């Protein structure tokens, strides 16, 4: 399926959209297509809200954000996000703040259709005072000392659609990832629909030669989109490196609202699709992010003689 | 023990060296990138050869070919001993009690070692929106001890009242009836000296100052009536060997050494 068709078909105005990928394999190209198609009033769920979220905010796609870290990695700030939160400029942003494990537990509850998930965090924190979904319950079982135990719980998250990026999948959606695998599989299972964007679509035999590397089986996937280099400026282990220079540049671009909007007009709205964005960056640029080979040792799955 | 000429030392170098010494005989460290990377790598070369760093991205036992630029740098993954998922990392490794030392930073810290990484000002309409918790809440609740490195030591950062408590120490948790696994913050390392506390019920005390820093200066830079240990040690300045390792082996390109 093309990215255009996948976003048109699976992301609607007002939807709750989860974009996961912990620094690695961030589905940036999907975020850009959401901007191109002008989606509005989205709730974005993402543990580490970073550049692609800042871009979607600036494009006016997002009214609510659910996150546990809102920063431009270690490279500085997200200008648009800060303007939205600090001065409601150009519009207020509803923001639900969690910790990382709080978000992980929301995905775990969501993926397993549980009403809540307990975690040993938040005791004494001010986070529950600004997020009424962080609630405390009494454990139905006695603690190690025989006493009843109080513990915080988080509610499930069940996005309308989860979009992740991965290295490869087969045509039916069996998706293989390696390197940092974060929370993507749980985020897919938590969603009503799931779109997987991959660097390449491979033959069934490639996937079946290493089934343990399939982190998302086809039954959980509704659409597979081939979109090489679709995680830029983040990286795809073994395919291309992180564009650290762009992360640093983003702090400057996003600091100036006009410059940010000009950037979106040129690089997102001014390109027909991600292939054109890739081409506009140029082969010399991509050569700078190329990586060498470091192959894993094959494993022997064995076969009955 | 020889020391380098004064003035040659940058704040990052000083903080890294002092933090590295605190890691003596420690095993598992949960660390971010930047100063904690410098400190843990230097510790590996000096006082803690068996140290294992677990990164928030899920990388365990990294053997990077170059100094990583982020906790998720591809060079951390290639050649690593393990890469685990977020439920494994936060659920089993951290909450399961496998981390000896967590390294955290913050915009604000109070006398009990609770931290603010969310907002300066009011949460609803902050004057500065900071990145927020990340895994800090979990690192604090579940590591046996937490070391905090603060680049700024002034009354706004070392404050009697946090603008917002993102990351509570165990005292605050216990006040709500929730017992934490670890002791919370036990060491705070700054450009002025070292503050320490023992655990629940204890507040931060000044235990050491850098050469040339007076106790009064530290007290004036702290936004509460800072307790002072009976004997305040002087932090031994970085040795030539510590600085050489840091500059030549750990961060030769000065990625983090500022």
pLDDT of A88-125, one tens digit each?
999 999 999 999 999 999 999 999 999 999 999 999 99
What per-residue confidence (pLDDT) applies to A23? 93
At B4-15, the pLDDT tens digits run 444 578 888 999
Catalytic residue set of B: 56
Contact A124 B78 (CB under 8 A): no
pLDDT band at B2 (very low <50, low <70, confident <90, very high): very low
Q: Is A63 exposed, middle or buried (0-12, 13-18, 19+ CB in 10 A)?
A: middle
Instruction: Tell me which DSSP letter residue B87 carries.
Output: I
Angle, alpha carbons A262-A265-A268 (nearest 5°): 125
The whole-angstrom separation of Cα A47 and Cα B138 is 14
Find the residue in A nearest to B120 (Cα).
A86
Contact B138 A99 (CB under 8 A): yes
Q: What percent of chain A has pLDDT over 70?
A: 100
Cα-based torsion angle of the residue sequence B215, B217, B223, B229 in order, rounded to the nearest 10 degrees: -10
SS3 track for B220-233 = HCCECCCEEEEEEE
Best mutation target, A68, A118, A125, to test chain B (most B CBs within 10 A): A125
Q: Which helix (H) or strand (E) holds A280?
A: helix A274-281
At A262-302, the pLDDT tens digits run 999 999 999 999 999 999 999 999 999 999 999 999 999 99
Stretch B103-125: mean pLDDT, rounded?
A: 96
The whole-angstrom separation of Cα A273 and Cα B213 is 59
Of B57, B134, B171, the CB nearest to A68: B134
Least Cα distance to A252 among A60, A76, A70 occurs for A76
Q: What is the pTM of this model?
A: 0.96
Contact B166 A124 (CB under 8 A): no
| A166 or B66, higher pLDDT | A166
Stretch B61-78: mean pLDDT, rounded?
A: 87
Q: Which residue pairs from A278-287 have beta carbons closer than 8 angstroms and sit at least 24 positions apart in sequence? A: A278/A228, A278/A229, A278/A232, A281/A232, A286/A229, A286/A240
The whole-angstrom separation of Cα A126 and Cα A122 is 8
pLDDT band at B141 (very low <50, low <70, confident <90, very high): very high
What per-residue confidence (pLDDT) applies to B255? 80
Of A99, A244, A294, the CB nearest to B135: A99
φ and ψ at residue B187, rounded to 5 degrees: -140, 135
Q: What percent of chain A has pLDDT over 90?
A: 96
The whole-angstrom separation of Cα B84 and Cα A215 is 12
Beta-sheet pairing, A69-70 with A48-49: parallel
Contacts A–B by Cβ distance under 8 A:
171
Question: Minimal Cα–Cα distance from A243 to chain B, Å?
Answer: 11
Contact B141 A121 (CB under 8 A): yes
Contacts of A123 in chain B (CB under 8 A): 141, 168, 172-174, 176-178, 180
ipTM (interface pTM): 0.95
Of A69, A130, A152, the CB nearest to B134: A69
What per-residue confidence (pLDDT) applies to A117? 98
Contact B131 A67 (CB under 8 A): no
């Amino acid at each position: 399926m093309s990215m255009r068709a996948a976003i048109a078909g699976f992301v609607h105005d007002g939807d709750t959209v989860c974009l996961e990928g912990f620094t690695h394999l961030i589905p940036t190209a999907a975020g850009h297509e959401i901007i191109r198609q002008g989606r509005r009033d989205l709730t974005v769920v993402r543990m580490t809200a970073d550049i692609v979220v800042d871009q979607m905010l600036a494009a006016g796609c997002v009214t609510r954000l659910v996150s546990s870290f809102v920063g431009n990695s270690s490279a500085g700030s997200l200008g648009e996000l800060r303007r939205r939160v600090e001065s409601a400029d150009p519009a207020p942003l509803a923001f639900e703040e969690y910790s990382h494990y709080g978000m992980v537990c929301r995905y775990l509850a969501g993926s397993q259709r549980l009403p809540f998930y307990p975690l040993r965090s938040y005791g004494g924190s001010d986070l529950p005072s600004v997020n009424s979904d962080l609630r405390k319950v009494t454990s139905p079982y006695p603690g190690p000392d025989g006493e009843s135990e109080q513990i915080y719980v988080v509610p499930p998250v069940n996005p309308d659609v989860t979009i992740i990026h991965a290295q490869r999948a087969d045509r039916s959606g069996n998706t293989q990832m390696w390197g940092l695998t974060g929370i993507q599989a749980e985020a897919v299972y938590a969603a009503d629909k799931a779109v997987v964007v991959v660097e390449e679509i491979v033959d069934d035999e490639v996937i079946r030669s290493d089934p343990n590397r399939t982190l998302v089986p086809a039954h959980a996937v509704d659409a597979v989109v081939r979109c090489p280099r679709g995680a830029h400026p983040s990286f795809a282990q073994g395919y291309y490196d992180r564009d650290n220079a762009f992360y640093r540049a983003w702090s400057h671009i996003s600091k100036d609202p006009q410059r940010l909007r000009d950037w979106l007009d040129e690089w997102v709205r001014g390109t027909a699709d991600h292939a054109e964005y890739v081409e506009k960056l140029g082969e010399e640029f991509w050569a700078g992010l190329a990586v060498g080979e470091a192959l894993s040792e094959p494993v022997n799955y064995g076969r009955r003689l | 023990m020889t020391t380098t000429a004064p003035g040659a030392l940058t704040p990052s170098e000083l903080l890294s060296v002092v933090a590295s010494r605190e890691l003596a005989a420690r095993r598992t460290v949960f660390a971010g990138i930047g100063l904690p990377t410098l400190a843990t790598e230097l510790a590996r070369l000096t006082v803690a050869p068996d140290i294992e760093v677990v990164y928030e991205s899920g990388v365990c036992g990294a053997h990077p070919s170059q100094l990583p630029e982020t906790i998720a740098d591809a060079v951390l993954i290639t050649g690593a001993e393990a890469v685990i998922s977020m439920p494994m990392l936060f659920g089993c490794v951290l909450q399961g009690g496998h981390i000896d030392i967590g390294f955290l930073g913050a915009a604000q810290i109070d006398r009990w070692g609770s931290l603010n990484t969310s907002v300066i000002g009011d949460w609803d309409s902050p004057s500065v929106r900071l990145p927020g918790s990340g895994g800090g809440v979990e690192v604090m609740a579940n590591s046996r001890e937490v070391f905090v490195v603060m680049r700024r030591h002034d009354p706004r950062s070392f404050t009697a009242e946090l603008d917002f408590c993102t990351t509570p120490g165990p005292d605050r948790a216990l006040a709500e009836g929730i017992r934490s696994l670890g002791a919370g913050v036990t060491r705070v390392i700054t450009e002025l000296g070292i503050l320490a506390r023992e655990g629940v019920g204890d507040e931060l005390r000044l235990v050491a100052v850098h050469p040339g820093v007076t106790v009064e200066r530290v007290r004036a830079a702290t936004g509460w009536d800072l307790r002072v240990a009976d004997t305040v040690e002087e932090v031994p300045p970085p040795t030539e060997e510590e600085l050489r390792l840091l500059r030549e082996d750990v961060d030769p390109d000065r990625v983090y050494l500022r």
